[in-house]
Amino acid sequence: MTGSRGSAGRRLRDGGMIQRDRPVAFSFNGKRYRGFVGDTLASALLANGVDLIGRSFKYHRPRGIMGAGCEEPNAVVQVGMGGETTPNLRATEIDLYEGLSAVSVNCWPSVSFDVGAINGVFSRFLPAGFYYKTFMWPSWHAFEWAIRRAAGLGEAPKQADPDRYETRYDHCDVLVVGAGPAGLAAARAAAATGSRVLLVEQDSHVGGRLLWDPAVIDGTEASAWIADCRRFIEAQPEARILTRTTAVGYFDHNALVLVENPAGSLGRAGPGAPRQRLWSVRASNVVLATGAAERPLVFPGNDRPGVMLASAVRHYVERYAVRPGEHAVIFTNNDDAYATASAIVRASGAVSAIVDTRAEPPRQLVETARASGIRVLAGSAVVGTKGARRLRSVRVREADGRSRDIPCDLLAVSGGYNPTVHLFCQSGGKLVYDADQALFKPSGSSRSVRSVGAAAGTMGLGASLLEAHEAGRGAAETGNPGNDAPRPSPPQASGEPPTIEACWRVDDGRGKAFVDFQNDVTADDIALAARENFRSVEHLKRYTTLGMGTDQGKTSNVNGLAIMAALTGREVPEVGTTRYRFPFTPVSFGALAGSTRGELFRPMRRTALHDWNVTAGAMMEDYGGWQRPACYPRPGESLEAAVQREALAVRNGVGVFDASPLGKIEVKGPDAATFLDRIYANTISTLRLGSIRYGLMLNEAAAIIDDGVATRIADDHFLVGTTSGGADRIAAWLEEWLQCEWPELDVLVAPVTTAWAVLSLTGPASRAVLGEVGTDIGLAPQDFPHMSFRAGTVGGIPARVSRVSYTGELTYELNVPWSLAPDLLERLIDAGRSHDILPIGVESCLLLRLEKGYLHVGTDTDGTTTSLDVGWGHVLKRTSDFVGRRSLLLPHNQRTDRLQLVGLESVDGRPLPLGAQLSLKGSGPRDADGFVSSSGYSPALRRGVALGMVRGGREKTGEGVIAVTSRGRFQARIAPLAAYDPQGERING
């Protein structure tokens, strides 16, 4: 071995699961490298001798790869360019692909020369909470932007994501999370019963730890056993395996959320394939075989590039055929890391020493190590590291108290294992502390959630396989008799669980001992938190940011809370863990959004006249989820001018308005009249056949929730009209009262909004136009007066016609079957040509109603406005009950100084600013006596018109009010609601 740092030196000549016949070119920080299919970005970088991957979050210290999986805290990179760029991915999870381009995050101007590293020099001035304590004058927010810039991770993409994301729903009898030895055994046992089984694995391969930890199962090599399991499971018709799929969330009633990367973490998906797929799975039973993650030891200088988790070193050697260093030292408090020494030796690397914190490590391990020429330093600890951008040596304090330096370029550390209990805790499960194994594990399994293997704290392979097999079969047979197929026997393997003596912190030595590598939280920061009394684990987390990085503290949480326990004289379980939350690993916004983006984010509804409106040049806008014409501007015409022109056309001739979204609800049955009397604030049962009445609906607190007209079609049959925005809400409101409060009423409610298109023909010439189109309905005023209803035909089309008006002009509301509306509109336009008919939009319609002072619910009213506030005192004369009636009598609703709806007349004719605060004459200009709720310029009156809510306003007609705004001071008078045609004569035509 040459000891060179080149790729030839780091990549082993044979072995591993990489495909050596399929080389791949990629780039990192602008430099080009080569790896193989089967590599991760991390293994390829290690093979190329790239030690420095990024800079730490706070002190900008150089950092290298520490782990080999999703727990990796350091090797966080940004991948891809433009709209496809993805920040904050772990290099250990990115499958290498041709053309991959990645850069470090959090370093400027470059990873090897980083300006922010000056923070490291001054680091003794930067303890936990430093920023919050120091940057307090004049305000934290004055400094926040600069501090956030210095301490960022990757950059969010600035362009839209061009990729497609997909959402799928599924269900199964047994969901097995994790396809390591335990997961495979559980899934095989469950699948054998014929149950619907889903096995998910976040890696590209099933096998878990067996992919890098040699073992013998059922007398064969682990790889053969894995292949057998896989074949068996896939052969069952109801069982499936999803790889590259991470279970990120466990929600109520066994609803799990999975994220699948069909083409590898970021490789190009096939044409039409989604980049990611979000699965929402409902499982009758869940088996959690999520394994365990190794935790580092906490000692000074433990973050230097070249310090890696012992299991990760084994992972790189065995699976990727990469030797992460030439001269290794092992630092451990348990048996498991001895296997790493063996793996390095097998890979022709040198192991200078195994530093074991235990005074008496198991004799057999010591002897085996010595037989390979490795010194075992018992009762010793690493107390410091040296090296600028790469480890050069470690300082070891031996049992006799003497210290010495041992040269090495790789330090493999093991502080024991943490069962991956995230999903278990999300399911509501509680943890117990196992002092013998120094780990938190699930307190048990429930009927529908079973933890198995290392995830359950069962660390020996043989016991783990047996436990998983039983759990898989048990889960499948819960409430499911299964088939008669022969059941496989439990897999057999040997292997004792490793022994461990907890070591949470190496106390001596100088320099920073990191606990949370991603957020730069040191053991001293935890001590500071303890001194300042942030002793609860949740306080510790928030004060120091321990475990709050994108890795969610997978390597740091347990070390951190154990150090806190020691500092405060408590036992580890007394301190407890922080809450484990969704998601287990970061999820992209694309995956969460799925296809609900762009036009599909909130699908827009269109009326039957949509194409006609667009052809006519309408300016279409979103009104309560409907695409509607705001106005029909002519070429070169401003929107304001178009609205004025359309409004004048209605006053002087005739306009036609697409009112199709108006809510229409049929209410039918022997008790229909009784029901509507209780729903409306005013009486409906006295309505004569063919007549129409305007009504207000209140909620039980007496606030106005909708208004509209009720029409009596037959004795037992009404048509309830609602606002366009209220159509769905009011239909649901009626159902709730009928089903929950008055089930004894014999009434049916049927929403028919989209069955009937509505063309509102309005203006003094509307009668003439309707006559020319032809109808079998008598149009003479005495035959068809205002507020009445007739059914018949218009231009040969079956129609329901109402004489109601929102413009104050003679109006016919023509309700026709949805599909026939364009035909009718053409005929109306043809017939109206001699009267200069115009299509009018929503804006001119609202301006016309404002001139008339008609209420617009939700514009002039809010959630506190009652029927009394808009001048409907008469409803209290009713002797029968209705929704909201009792609340009208509550003292606060009876006050005379409530905000009341009034008309407003500006003194100089300028329109009042919408929303402006109003002060009554006599009170100061800062006193809030009301506000302008609707305002516009009336083309008919040639002055501003407005409505407002004013304290006690209805008794103050003629009094002055002042609006002071940034646009100046406005003088106005309180006026009657209707500015135009106050006598209401034009409505009769």
Partner 1 sequence: MLLITCPWCGPRDEIEFRWGGESHIRRPTLQSSPQDEEWADYLFYRKNPKGLHRERWVHEAGCGQWFNIARDTVSHEIVEVYRMGEAHGQAERGKRP
Nearer to partner 1 by Cβ, of 121 and 740: the residue is 740
- Residue 478 as a binder of partner 1 (CB under 8 A): the answer is no
- Residue 864 as a binder of partner 1 (CB under 8 A): the answer is no
Q: How far is CA 305 from the centre of its chain?
A: 35
Beta bridge partners of 450: 287
Instruction: Return d(Cα 177, Cα 198) in angstroms, integer.
Output: 8
Instruction: Return d(Cα 829, Cα 88) in angstroms, integer.
Output: 60
* Residue 550 per-residue DSSP state: T
> In 3-state terms, what secondary structure has residue 557?
helix
Dihedral sign computed on CA atoms, order 179, 181, 184, 189? negative
Nearer to partner 1 by Cβ, of 410 and 591: the residue is 591
Instruction: Return d(Cα 439, Cα 202) in angstroms, integer.
Output: 23
- Residue 315 as a binder of partner 1 (CB under 8 A): the answer is no
Q: Exposure of 400 by Cβ count < 10 A (0-12 exposed, 13-18 middle, 19+ buried)?
A: exposed
Stretch that binds partner 1, among 58-66, 249-257, 301-309, 403-411 (CB under 8 A): 249-257
Instruction: Return d(Cα 351, Cα 374) in angstroms, integer.
Output: 6
- Residue 253 as a binder of partner 1 (CB under 8 A): the answer is yes
- Residue 877 as a binder of partner 1 (CB under 8 A): the answer is no
Stretch that binds partner 1, among 394-402, 654-662, 881-889, 929-937 (CB under 8 A): 881-889
Nearer to partner 1 by Cβ, of 140 and 251: the residue is 251
Buried b (16+ CB within 10 A) or exposed e, 923-951: eeeeeebbbbbbbbbbbbeeebbbbbbbb
Q: What are the DSSP E strand ranges found in 315-416?
A: 327-332, 350-356, 375-378, 381-386, 393-397, 403-407, 410-414
- Direct distance between the N- and C-terminal alpha carbons of the chain, in angstroms, rounded to an integer: 103
- Residue 701 as a binder of partner 1 (CB under 8 A): the answer is yes
In angstroms, give the least distance from the CB of 799 to partner 1. 29
- Residue 750 as a binder of partner 1 (CB under 8 A): the answer is no
- Residue 891 as a binder of partner 1 (CB under 8 A): the answer is yes
In angstroms, give the least distance from the CB of 74 to partner 1. 35
Nearer to partner 1 by Cβ, of 173 and 294: the residue is 173
Nearer to partner 1 by Cβ, of 721 and 751: the residue is 751
Contact status, residue 30 vs residue 10, Cβ threshold 8 Å: no
Nearer to partner 1 by Cβ, of 36 and 675: the residue is 675
Q: Exposure of 396 by Cβ count < 10 A (0-12 exposed, 13-18 middle, 19+ buried)?
A: buried
Stretch that binds partner 1, among 50-58, 95-103, 224-232, 880-888 (CB under 8 A): 880-888
Nearer to partner 1 by Cβ, of 236 and 893: the residue is 893
- Residue 876 as a binder of partner 1 (CB under 8 A): the answer is no
In angstroms, give the least distance from the CB of 796 to partner 1. 36
- Residue 887 as a binder of partner 1 (CB under 8 A): the answer is yes
Interface with partner 1 in residues 127-186 (CB under 8 A)? 169
* Residue 262 per-residue DSSP state: B
| The only residue of 885, 898, 954, 956 in contact with partner 1, by rule CB under 8 A | 885
Nearer to partner 1 by Cβ, of 132 and 582: the residue is 582
Beta bridge partners of 257: 249, 280
Interface with partner 1 in residues 653-682 (CB under 8 A)? none
In angstroms, give the least distance from the CB of 553 to partner 1. 26
For residues 550, 552, 558, 564, the Cα torsion angle rounded to the nearest 10 degrees is 80
Nearer to partner 1 by Cβ, of 243 and 254: the residue is 254
In angstroms, give the least distance from the CB of 700 to partner 1. 6
Interface with partner 1 in residues 281-300 (CB under 8 A)? 282
- Residue 890 as a binder of partner 1 (CB under 8 A): the answer is yes
Nearer to partner 1 by Cβ, of 885 and 951: the residue is 885
* Residue 486 per-residue DSSP state: P
Beta bridge partners of 109: 114
Q: What angle do CA 45, 49, 53 make, to 5 degrees?
A: 55
In angstroms, give the least distance from the CB of 737 to partner 1. 10
In angstroms, give the least distance from the CB of 758 to partner 1. 25
The amino acid sitting at 945 is V
Nearer to partner 1 by Cβ, of 280 and 793: the residue is 280
| The only residue of 8, 224, 255, 432 in contact with partner 1, by rule CB under 8 A | 255
In angstroms, give the least distance from the CB of 395 to partner 1. 52
Stretch that binds partner 1, among 43-51, 54-62, 374-382, 879-887 (CB under 8 A): 879-887
Give the closest residue to 707 by CA, choosing from 935, 901, 981, 975.
901
| The only residue of 251, 582, 589, 601 in contact with partner 1, by rule CB under 8 A | 251
Nearer to partner 1 by Cβ, of 24 and 172: the residue is 172
> In 3-state terms, what secondary structure has residue 330?
strand
- Residue 748 as a binder of partner 1 (CB under 8 A): the answer is no
Nearer to partner 1 by Cβ, of 250 and 854: the residue is 250
The residue assigned the tokens 């943890």 is 431
**Residue 516: which residues within 8 A CB-CB, separation 6 or more?**
73, 544, 545, 546, 547, 549, 553, 555, 556, 560
Give the closest residue to 454 by CA, choosing from 634, 294, 224.
294
Interface with partner 1 in residues 941-970 (CB under 8 A)? none
For residues 538, 544, 550, 553, the Cα torsion angle rounded to the nearest 10 degrees is -60
Q: How many residues bind partner 1 (CB under 8 A)?
A: 25
Q: Which helix (H) or strand (E) holds 258?
A: strand 255-260
In angstroms, give the least distance from the CB of 665 to partner 1. 13
User: In 380-522, where does DSSP find H-type helix?
Assistant: 422-426, 461-477
- Residue 569 as a binder of partner 1 (CB under 8 A): the answer is no
**Distances 306 to 131, 327, 387, 413, 939 between C-alpha atoms, Å:** 31, 11, 9, 10, 79
* Residue 6 per-residue DSSP state: S
Nearer to partner 1 by Cβ, of 739 and 896: the residue is 739
In angstroms, give the least distance from the CB of 254 to partner 1. 8
Instruction: Return d(Cα 987, Cα 989) in angstroms, integer.
Output: 5
Nearer to partner 1 by Cβ, of 880 and 965: the residue is 880
| The only residue of 223, 280, 403, 864 in contact with partner 1, by rule CB under 8 A | 280
Q: Exposure of 691 by Cβ count < 10 A (0-12 exposed, 13-18 middle, 19+ buried)?
A: middle
Instruction: Return d(Cα 295, Cα 563) in angstroms, integer.
Output: 14
Instruction: Return d(Cα 413, Cα 311) in angstroms, integer.
Output: 8
Q: Exposure of 635 by Cβ count < 10 A (0-12 exposed, 13-18 middle, 19+ buried)?
A: exposed
Nearer to partner 1 by Cβ, of 731 and 840: the residue is 731
In angstroms, give the least distance from the CB of 739 to partner 1. 4
- Residue 776 as a binder of partner 1 (CB under 8 A): the answer is no
- Residue 741 as a binder of partner 1 (CB under 8 A): the answer is yes
Stretch that binds partner 1, among 5-13, 196-204, 245-253, 967-975 (CB under 8 A): 245-253
Interface with partner 1 in residues 720-739 (CB under 8 A)? 732, 735-736, 739
In angstroms, give the least distance from the CB of 886 to partner 1. 5
Binding mask 425-464 for partner 1 (x = CB under 8 A): ---x------------------------------------
Q: Which residues form the interface with partner 1 (CB under 8 A)?
A: 169, 251-255, 280, 282, 428, 700-701, 732, 735-736, 739-741, 743, 880-881, 885-887, 890-891
